[in-house]
Amino acid sequence: MASIHKALVVFFAVAAALLRGGHAHGEDHAASVHDVTEYGAAPSNRDNRDAFLAAWRAACGSTAGNSTLVFPKGTFAVGAVQFEGPCANGDAPAVVIYGVLQPPCAGGGGCHLSDDAWITFSGLNNLLVTGNGTLDGQGHRSGKSKSKTTTLVFEDVTNSTLRGLAFVNSRGFHVNLRRCTRVVAEGLGIHAPAASRNTDGVHVGHSRHVRILDSVIGTGDDCVSVGPGSVDVVVSGVTCGPGHGLSVGSLGKDEGEQDVRGLVIRNCTVKGTTNGVRIKTWPGSPRSRASNITFEDIAMANVTNPIIIDQRYCPHNRCSDADKVTPPQAATRTNVPSRIA
């Protein structure tokens, strides 16, 4: 796994260098590279939020086109921050992260983040977030605050790519794609301790035409989880473990949830996890439908439940109606993996 990760990092270092080269050769493109340190950001334990937002406003507000927001090498602290669109010319800048971003943990107390998101990109089209940098949630230092903060959220983002970054020790989900259309997440390395709760690798919800490709994910929860309202999602070339495997759900927690339709999970490897491929619904859940789901060409080793459809999903046994079973409409067609090793 280490060698795959290293190979990916090298690959994306080259890709990022090419991206920068492309800008350098264009006419007057140097002017549209916005390095956060030019806006007052500095590698330190001080919250760099205001400087990051100033650099974002410049990059997103640029009408020159093809602008790039750069986070250089160094470890930068930042509290919860939201990079919002729309941008001046309709397309988001490219965001290249070479450094390490961390919540401002030094000086006590500052480590608390809300239960929602740490870094959010919202309302954007044609966004590229890439680089060989790391988003480090410092989950192991969140102490008594116990917030389940998602490290990176894409919300209302279209035609976009998340590529090559490393994610470590999130406090909650590492990546959450919500209300997105046509988003590719690829070449990610995601790592958190096996004992860390709710640290899903990539979660997809209320999103269409999503591709999660060629990534290595080991956490304390689901490797990839596909929630309500997901349509046309492909997961391929993903290596999972440790954690809870590749999951659809959990579904049926709330009334009126949107269906899950058209999910393909193929060419993945799952090692040292509690589950392989799973569909999970809460007991006695209101009706919703999960259909046209294909699991294909999944290699598994040291997996407790390789294939599991759990209609009484009830983590930590907090359900009052745990005996009720969701009617079988919950899963209408499940193709069994063709290869299980």
Among 15, 98, 147, 325, binds ligand NAG (CB under 6 A): 98
DSSP lists the bridge partners of residue 199 as none
Identity of the residue, 138 or 275, whose beta carbon is nearer to ligand NAG in the bound complex: 275
Identify the three-state secondary structure at position 185. strand
- By CB under 6 A, tell whether 1 contacts ligand NAG: no
Catalytic residue list contains 244: yes
* C-alpha to C-alpha distance for 334 and 19, rounded to whole angstroms: 41
Among 16, 55, 248, 300, binds ligand NAG (CB under 6 A): 16
Cβ(176)–Cβ(149) below 8 Å: no
Residue 138 C-beta: closest distance to ligand NAG, Å:
18
User: Among 241, 164, 161, 249, which Cα is nearest to 209's?
Assistant: 161
Among 45, 75, 82, 292, binds ligand NAG (CB under 6 A): 292
User: What's the one-letter identity of residue 271?
Assistant: K
Size of site (CB under 6 A) for ligand NAG: 25
- By CB under 6 A, tell whether 79 contacts ligand NAG: no
* C-alpha to C-alpha distance for 264 and 238, rounded to whole angstroms: 12
Q: Which string of x and - marks every residue 192-231 that binds ligand NAG (by CB under 6 A)?
A: ----------------------x-----------------
Q: Where are the alpha helices (DSSP H) in the chain?
A: 2-25, 49-61
Asked whether the bond before 242 is cis by omega within 30 degrees of 0, the reply is yes
CB atoms within 10 A of CB 313: 23
Catalytic residue among 34, 112, 203, 244: 244
Residues that bind ligand NAG (CB under 6 A): 9, 13, 16-17, 22, 65-66, 98, 125, 132, 158-159, 182, 214, 232, 236-237, 239, 242, 262, 264, 267, 272, 292, 302
